[in-house]
Amino acid sequence: MALLESDDPVFQLTQLGRRCCARIVSIGTGDDNTQLSIRRLRQIGFEEDKEVEILHTGPFGRDPIAVRVDRMVLAIRRAEASLITVKSS
């Protein structure tokens, strides 16, 4: 990965390519409908500033995705992944 400026553009985790690394900027927008999903994401190990990498995508419709978060590999659906904002690291 090339070194980028600190004010790099941020994008959704779903837009991250396979085998690419990024760093989590924020999780969720605070919208009421997604509160529970955000809570679950945080419980299982998604946190700001952690490094993520897309390892695998599901065989049907590339859903769900397997994400490496630090040393854990977590499977989540694209719907939840879209709540996570990342920037290139």
Q: Which residues bind other proteins (CB under 8 A)?
A: 33-34, 36-37, 39-45, 47-49, 55-64, 66, 68-77, 79-80
As measured in angstroms, the least distance from the Cβ of 72 to other proteins is: 5
Nearer of residues 9 and 43 to other proteins, judged by Cβ: 43
Sort residue 35 into left (φ over 0), alpha (ψ -120 to 50) or beta: alpha
Nearer of residues 1 and 5 to other proteins, judged by Cβ: 1
Sort residue 85 into left (φ over 0), alpha (ψ -120 to 50) or beta: beta
